[in-house]
Amino acid sequence: MAQDYEDRNTKKGGDIVQETIYANATDDTITLEFQRSDGTLVTQLIDFRN
């Protein structure tokens, strides 16, 4: 079962223009994506499996 939480647009105080959070309870993972104003996309995977 996957859940998506989307779009925290912030231009005030930083250069992150979009933040996306994906949570997957079946796989016990969370994926965070941050898009910077220059187009760079940073993805962080958090895996809670043993």
State pLDDT tens for residues 11-32. Answer: 555 588 899 999 999 999 999 9
Taking alpha carbons only, the member of 46, 1, 50, 43 closest to residue 24 is: 1
- For Cα atoms 10, 2, 45, give the angle at the middle one, nearest 5 degrees: 60
pLDDT, position 2: 60
Neighbours of 29 (CB within 10 A): 15
This prediction's pTM: 0.64
DSSP for residue 24:
E
Please answer whether residues 44 and 31 qualify as being in contact, where contact means their C-beta atoms are separated by less than 8 angstroms. Answer: yes
Taking alpha carbons only, the member of 13, 20, 22 closest to residue 42 is: 20
